[in-house]
């Protein structure tokens, strides 16, 4: 096998670190996986960086074993590699490279006060999960480590640095660390100057722009695998140094690439532990919307992002309960079959769930101002509790907060040709895709590669750097080479279903007061 024509994508997701290897026909040759989980420590969601490095190593070992089993071949190089991870968060280091505090992930909302202040200062939406919000909140809190911060990056930026020695990051993920100017593809200089000028930020040892990683656009080479990085990834010593790396990107950007939705007028939905939509805009929004973030595609187009911290975790927990019940009776049903059967049962439920309400907020949800996680299931005494209505309510919970955010785009007269959806929740055909289309009032398309998700998108970005033609843009590369013959299924909104979902959404919005009270009252 000619390894020099392959592209490797690695993504550190919320619960799984996954690697995907592509050949030069964009087919998946092998996959490697490693399971991990975040931890709640001192009130903050975190991952240990030692676990991140050992997890990447275990993931690569699984991919390597798959290649040995399938092809009787051991890779000693690749044409290109790319690293992706959960977006944003807070990873800071001193001048000697020592990590100053545990990684604060996107899942935390402790930086909400800082985010509000910066939004007002910049007249530009700054979400609580963005890196600059975390930094400023630490300053406002008087945390001693802020005086020593010399470098700030994201999870994929850190892994990229450990493998290449380069402090660089893709423009899409960079736009979630600090606002960028889409005209230049660089951090917004005036906003950075305003940040540096704040009196409380004088305790920082460096200007903000000196702390941030250098930005690289899709198609650029962002470094090469070092000898140390090769041994970190493959302790067996089979992998040689020198493999070029494309710019590291967050899971938002790789999801857009994996679904071919990087052009204006298109968008994508990425569903997993969190759920978010990325809508590529033809023009800027008329005003700041607290529910929408402005970020960028990996090639620098402006994107409106609606981000929700919670999606499938509570759904998975309930399906786990059903699995426990089956085991009490000595039944073991494969997970895919159990999920499929329960998902399909929801289709026979009432369009408005007949008075049932489900809230999947395992962690706080900034978009609806819920400070902490309090999953709830609520119903009226007149409602009809059965499995179809219950499951439909749980599926609605996965998309309802996103709907509240995306409905704002209608006020801005933003129209979409289609939304591409990807993530495991769409693997059961004919269920979530149709519900989502009717909830959002726009066509939803799922491609054959939808289940591959972010690591597949990261591998495509690596392949784009490796094999693009002179002057070939990312959207042209995806249209003409990758997705030209890929099968896809599009579901359109159903008027009757949309009306039922609208009734559910109205009750859901009203019931948010119950969730907020649960945060205050249930300790």
Structure-block tokens of residue 104: 């604060």
Whether residue 188 is contained in a domain is answered as yes
Q: How far apart are CA 338 and CA 68, in angstroms?
A: 32
Whether residue 83 is contained in a domain is answered as no
Q: How confident is the model at residue 71 (pLDDT cuts 50, 70, 90)?
A: very high
Structure-block tokens of residue 434: 């149709």
* Boundaries of domain holding 182: 88-153+178-211
Structure-block tokens of residue 190: 């005036």
Q: How far apart are CA 138 and CA 135, in angstroms?
A: 5
Q: From the CA atom positions of the chain, what is the Rg in Å?
A: 22
Give every CB contact of residue 153 below 8 A, 6+ residues apart in sequence: 91, 93, 131, 161, 167, 169, 177, 213
Same domain, 318 and 203: no
Q: How far apart are CA 314 and CA 349, in angstroms?
A: 19
Whether residue 19 is contained in a domain is answered as no
Same domain, 204 and 338: no
Whether residue 380 is contained in a domain is answered as yes
Which backbone phi and psi does 7 adopt, to 5 degrees?
-135, 130
Q: Are 403 and 306 in contact (CB under 8 A)?
A: no
Domain finish residue from 188, 211, 234 = 211
- pLDDT for res 354: 97
Q: Residue holding tokens 């409380």?
A: 200
Q: How confident is the model at residue 187 (pLDDT cuts 50, 70, 90)?
A: very high
Cα–Cα distance list, 106 to 33, 304, 352, 497 (Å):
22, 17, 32, 33
Domain finish residue from 211, 229, 252 = 211
- pLDDT for res 441: 94
Higher pLDDT residue, 119 or 452? 119
Percent of the chain with pLDDT over 70: 99
Q: Which residues of 400-487 form beta strands (DSSP E)?
A: 418-422, 444-447
> Helices (DSSP H) in 33-95: which residue ranges?
49-71
Q: Are 32 and 18 in contact (CB under 8 A)?
A: yes
Same domain, 428 and 317: yes
Query: Under DSSP, is residue 484 helix (H, G, I), strand (E, B) or coil?
Result: coil
Q: Which region among 58-72, 141-155, 373-387, 448-462 has the lowest average model confidence (pLDDT)?
A: 448-462
Whether residue 111 is contained in a domain is answered as yes
Domain finish residue from 167, 192, 211 = 211
Give every CB contact of residue 95 below 8 A, 6+ residues apart in sequence: 148, 150
Same domain, 205 and 344: no
Average pLDDT rounded to a whole number, residues 145-150: 97
Whichever domain contains 405, its CATH number is 3.30.420.40
Q: Are 361 and 273 in contact (CB under 8 A)?
A: no
Residue 12 has pLDDT above 80, yes or no: yes
- Specify the DSSP element, H or E, that contains 518: helix 495-521
Give 233-276 pLDDT, tens digit per residue.
999 999 999 999 999 999 889 988 988 889 999 998 988 888 98
Instruction: Name the pTM for this structure.
Output: 0.83
Give 326-385 pLDDT, tens digit per residue.
999 999 999 999 999 999 999 999 999 999 999 999 999 988 999 899 999 999 999 999
Whether residue 292 is contained in a domain is answered as no
- Specify the DSSP element, H or E, that contains 157: helix 155-164
Q: How far apart are CA 402 and CA 269, in angstroms?
A: 9
Structure-block tokens of residue 16: 């799984």
- pLDDT for res 270: 85
Q: Residue holding tokens 């599009």?
A: 490
Handedness of CA 155, 161, 164, 168 (dihedral sign): positive
Residue 451 has pLDDT above 60, yes or no: no
Whether residue 206 is contained in a domain is answered as yes
Give 304-314 pLDDT, tens digit per residue.
999 898 999 99
Same domain, 500 and 353: yes
Whether residue 456 is contained in a domain is answered as no
Q: How confident is the model at residue 14 (pLDDT cuts 50, 70, 90)?
A: confident
Same domain, 392 and 505: yes
Based on the structure, what is the number of domains in the chain? 2
Closest CA to 100 of 35, 22, 177, 158: 158
Residue 447 has pLDDT above 90, yes or no: no
Antiparallel, parallel or unpaired: β 214-216 and 168-170: parallel
Average pLDDT rounded to a whole number, residues 136-151: 97
Residue 284 has pLDDT above 90, yes or no: no
Residue 321 has pLDDT above 80, yes or no: yes
Higher pLDDT residue, 448 or 51? 51
Structure-block tokens of residue 382: 């007149």
Higher pLDDT residue, 87 or 94? 94
Q: Are 496 and 352 in contact (CB under 8 A)?
A: no
Q: How confident is the model at residue 449 (pLDDT cuts 50, 70, 90)?
A: low
- pLDDT for res 348: 97
Q: How confident is the model at residue 452 (pLDDT cuts 50, 70, 90)?
A: low
């Amino acid at each position: 096998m000619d390894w020099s024509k392959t592209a490797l994508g690695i993504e550190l997701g919320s619960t799984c670190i996954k690697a995907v290897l592509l050949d030069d026909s964009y087919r998946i040759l092998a996959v490697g996986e490693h399971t991990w989980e975040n931890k709640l420590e001192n009130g903050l969601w975190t991952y240990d960086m030692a676990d991140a490095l050992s997890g990447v190593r275990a993931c690569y070992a699984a991919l390597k074993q798959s290649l040995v089993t399938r092809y009787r071949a051991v890779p000693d190089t690749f044409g290109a590699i790319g690293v992706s991870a959960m977006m944003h968060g807070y990873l800071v280091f001193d001048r000697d490279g020592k990590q100053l505090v545990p990684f604060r992930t996107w899942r935390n909302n402790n930086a909400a006060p800082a985010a509000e202040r910066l939004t007002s200062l910049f007249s530009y939406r700054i979400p609580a999960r963005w890196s600059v919000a975390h930094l400023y909140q630490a300053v406002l809190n008087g945390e001693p480590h802020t005086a020593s911060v010399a470098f700030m990056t994201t999870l994929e930026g850190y892994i990229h640095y450990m493998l290449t020695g380069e402090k660089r990051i893709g423009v899409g993920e960079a736009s979630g660390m600090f606002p960028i100017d889409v005209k230049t593809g660089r951090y917004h200089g005036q906003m950075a100057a305003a940040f540096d000028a704040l009196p409380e930020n004088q305790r920082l040892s460096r200007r903000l722009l000196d702390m941030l990683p250098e930005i690289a656009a899709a198609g650029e080479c962002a470094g090469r695998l070092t000898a140390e990085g090769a041994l970190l990834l493959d302790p067996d010593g089979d992998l040689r140094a020198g493999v070029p790396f494309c710019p590291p990107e967050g899971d938002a950007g790789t999801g857009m690439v994996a679904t071919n939705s990087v052009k204006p007028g298109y968008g994508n939905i990425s569903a997993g532990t969190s759920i978010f939509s990325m809508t590529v805009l033809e023009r800027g929004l008329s005003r700041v919307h607290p529910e929408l973030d402005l970020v960028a595609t990996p090639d620098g187009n402006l994107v409106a992002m609606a981000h929700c911290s919670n999606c499938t975790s509570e759904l998975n927990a309930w399906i786990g309960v059903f699995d426990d019940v089956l085991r009490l009776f000595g039944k073991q049903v494969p997970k895919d079959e159990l999920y499929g059967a329960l998902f399909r049962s929801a289709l026979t439920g009432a369009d408005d769930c007949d008075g049932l309400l489900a809230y999947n907020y395992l962690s706080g949800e900034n978009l609806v101002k819920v400070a902490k996680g309090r999953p709830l299931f609520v119903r009226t005494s007149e409602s009809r509790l059965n499995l179809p209505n219950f499951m439909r309510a749980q599926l609605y919970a996965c998309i309802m907060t996103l709907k509240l955010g995306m409905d704002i785009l209608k006020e801005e007269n933003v129209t979409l040709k289609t939304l591409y959806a990807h993530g495991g929740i769409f693997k059961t055909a004919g269920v979530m895709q149709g519900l989502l289309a009717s909830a959002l009032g726009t066509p939803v398309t799922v491609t054959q590669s939808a289940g591959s998700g972010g690591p597949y998108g990261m591998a495509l970005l690596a392949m784009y750097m490796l094999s693009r033609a002179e002057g070939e843009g990312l959207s042209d590369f995806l249209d003409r080479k990758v997705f030209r013959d890929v099968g896809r299924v599009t579901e359109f909104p159903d008027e009757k279903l949309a009306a039922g979902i609208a009734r559910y959404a109205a009750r859901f919005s009203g019931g948010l007061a119950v969730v907020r009270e649960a945060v205050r009252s249930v300790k």
